[in-house]
Amino acid sequence: MATVGSATSETPFFSMGEGTFKIPMTLYAENRRRLVENMKKNGHSGVILLKGGEQTTRHDTDHEDIFRQESYFHWAFGTVEADCFAALDVDTGKSTLFIPRLPEAYSIWMGTIHPPARFLKRYAVDACQFVDEIPTVMAADYKGKTIHVLYGRNSDSGNFAEPASFKGIEEFQVDRDSLFPIIANLRVFKTEAELEVMRYVSEVTSAAHVAVMRQVQVGWNEYQMEALFKFHTYNYGGCRHEAYTCICACGPSGATLHYGHAGAPNDRPIKDGQIGLLDMGAEYSCYCSDITCSYPVNGRFTQDQKDIYQGVLDAVIAVETAMKPGVSWHDMHHLALKTVTEALIKTGVLVGDAEEIIKSQLAAKFMPSGLGHLIGLDTHDVGGYLKGFPERSTLDGFKSLRTARDLEENMVLTVEPGIYFIESQVNMLLAGSEFDKYINKERLEQFRYFGGVRIEDVVLVKSDGIENFTQTPRGIDEIESVMSGGQWPPAEDKYPQ
């Protein structure tokens, strides 16, 4: 699958083996260099101490979930192993990885116990020691200096990063505040090396979507699409984790924006005439993709499906055509909302003026989600609402935006407008509401069990526009062609990006 650039054979790299993408360890070295540079630029010195993710077990049992590295730690060190720490000297740039000291029994149950020298080479760091040596190292090198630890609020979850600690840290000057906004903001801007990984994982994701699109059959259960998608991304792309829970929503399920969770586990039968909303993204070495395809499960759009789908696609095209550095993401959301509102007017569900309908907050009933989000090492990536950048809106829909920043070069975002006929919202509108004058109830009633349409691309902001990492059929004719066995990718791409 690795059609994009890869590490050369001499650089230490991560990969899942032959045929999968090679990530050079220089990717992480560059991130560390950027971090040190920015810490210095902001007047900081001393040392950064990061805590890697811990291996967890489920409830009180010995069931171990497959470990996935904490994202900030991965960004700086790329370590796949659990229970590590790492130090980065702000003044010299020296990187030290701290690995757990493993008991002898590890060699029987978990594999060969490798010495620090091997980790040093594998991760191309300057030093490698054991976690239990942190107090000694810190006392020897950083007495009287500042230890910067990671502490700050994730604006999507409301949770706080867990700062690194060690026995005796209270004897040092500890700065919990400076590191977080700097590293979070650096993560917003992807390096060329990171972009290569992100192209790869979206390429793998796109191919898996096309496979599902080609094979889905009326009569399957929704989760069979999830099974097939996961198989493709893992088998052909080496992606062991998905970036998020697969949403395989057919017909009415599509109106539930985060369908697929344990309480609604993609377990409905797929019925003839339904439109499917498939929101699935793979993860490769913690880098995420997040792509949504919507298409009729039987391969042929009805006129209503065409109307709704085309409205959403028009919103995607409008936004992606307008995106470039300096553009406000808030404005892009407005543009998308206007385009889908116009489609709802055209198909007869809404009546009146699009801008007026947006202003009334009615449009947000059909598109309550934000237009898109930053994406990287987390699907909903960090840096969306840092201090000094525009704050979260209070308007319906707009307030769901995970960032309100102006676009800048090397941001990667999703563009994911949608039209949803959500049961609770449709019931409210049909029962009669402040929005009565904008609603054609008879027409709305016809969409009661329609579900929803979302189209989601992963795009990179470049100096003069965007690059689209998504490679799936988007046009109605393209989709119908691919679903009836047509060639993909096409001989000639008729659509922009």
Q: Which of residues 77-106 bind its own copies (CB under 8 A)?
A: 80-82, 104
One-letter identity of residue 53: G
Query: Strands 173-175, 146-148: parallel, antiparallel or unpaired by DSSP?
Result: parallel
CB of 63 to Mn ion, least distance (A): 12
| Per CB under 5 A, 283 contacts Mn ion | no
In the complex with its own copies, which residue's Cβ is closer, 267 or 434?
267
Among 38, 165, 224, 393, binds its own copies (CB under 8 A): 224
CB of 436 to its own copies, least distance (A): 21
In the complex with its own copies, which residue's Cβ is closer, 140 or 262?
262
Q: Which of residues 384-423 bind its own copies (CB under 8 A)?
A: 422-423
CB of 55 to its own copies, least distance (A): 8
CB of 373 to its own copies, least distance (A): 10
Among 11, 165, 185, 425, binds its own copies (CB under 8 A): 425
CB of 381 to Mn ion, least distance (A): 10
Structure token pair of residue 222:
């929704």
In the complex with its own copies, which residue's Cβ is closer, 124 or 243?
243
Q: List the single partner that 290 binds among Mn ion, its own copies, none, CB under 5 to 8 Å by kind.
A: Mn ion
In the complex with its own copies, which residue's Cβ is closer, 394 or 424?
424
Q: Which residue is nearest to Mn ion (CB)?
A: 290
- The dihedral of CA 180, 145, 168, 105: what is its sign? positive
Cα(394)–Cα(338) distance, integer angstroms: 18
| Per CB under 8 A, 434 contacts its own copies | no
In the complex with its own copies, which residue's Cβ is closer, 17 or 144?
17
The 369-388 site mask, x for binding its own copies (CB under 8 A), equals ---------xxx--------
Q: List the single partner that 359 binds among Mn ion, its own copies, none, CB under 5 to 8 Å by kind.
A: none
| Per CB under 8 A, 156 contacts its own copies | yes
| Per CB under 5 A, 290 contacts Mn ion | yes
Cα dihedral: 343, 423, 416, 152 (round 10)? 140
CB of 353 to its own copies, least distance (A): 25
Among 298, 414, 471, 472, binds Mn ion (CB under 5 A): 414
CB of 60 to its own copies, least distance (A): 4
Among 207, 210, 228, 340, binds its own copies (CB under 8 A): 228
| Per CB under 5 A, 202 contacts Mn ion | no
Segment interacting with its own copies (CB under 8 A) among 12-20, 127-135, 185-193, 351-359: 12-20
Comparing C-alpha atoms, which of 284, 228, 251, 274 is closest to residue 15? 284
CB of 380 to Mn ion, least distance (A): 7
| Per CB under 8 A, 235 contacts its own copies | yes
Q: List the single partner that 226 binds among its own copies, Mn ion, none, CB under 5 to 8 Å by kind.
A: its own copies
Size of the site for its own copies (CB under 8 A): 73
| Per CB under 8 A, 115 contacts its own copies | no
Which class for 107: exposed (0-12), middle (13-18), buried (19 or more C-beta within 10 A)?
exposed
In the complex with its own copies, which residue's Cβ is closer, 118 or 346?
118
| Per CB under 5 A, 69 contacts Mn ion | no
| Per CB under 8 A, 267 contacts its own copies | yes
Q: List the single partner that 414 binds among its own copies, Mn ion, none, CB under 5 to 8 Å by kind.
A: Mn ion
Cα dihedral: 333, 338, 341, 345 (round 10)? -170
Q: Which of residues 326-355 bind its own copies (CB under 8 A)?
A: none
In the complex with its own copies, which residue's Cβ is closer, 229 or 301?
229
In the complex with its own copies, which residue's Cβ is closer, 310 or 425?
425
Q: List the single partner that 307 binds among its own copies, Mn ion, none, CB under 5 to 8 Å by kind.
A: none
- The dihedral of CA 321, 198, 389, 416: what is its sign? positive
In the complex with its own copies, which residue's Cβ is closer, 143 or 231?
231
Residues 83 and 54 sit within 8 Å (Cβ to Cβ) = yes
Residues that bind Mn ion (CB under 5 A): 290, 414
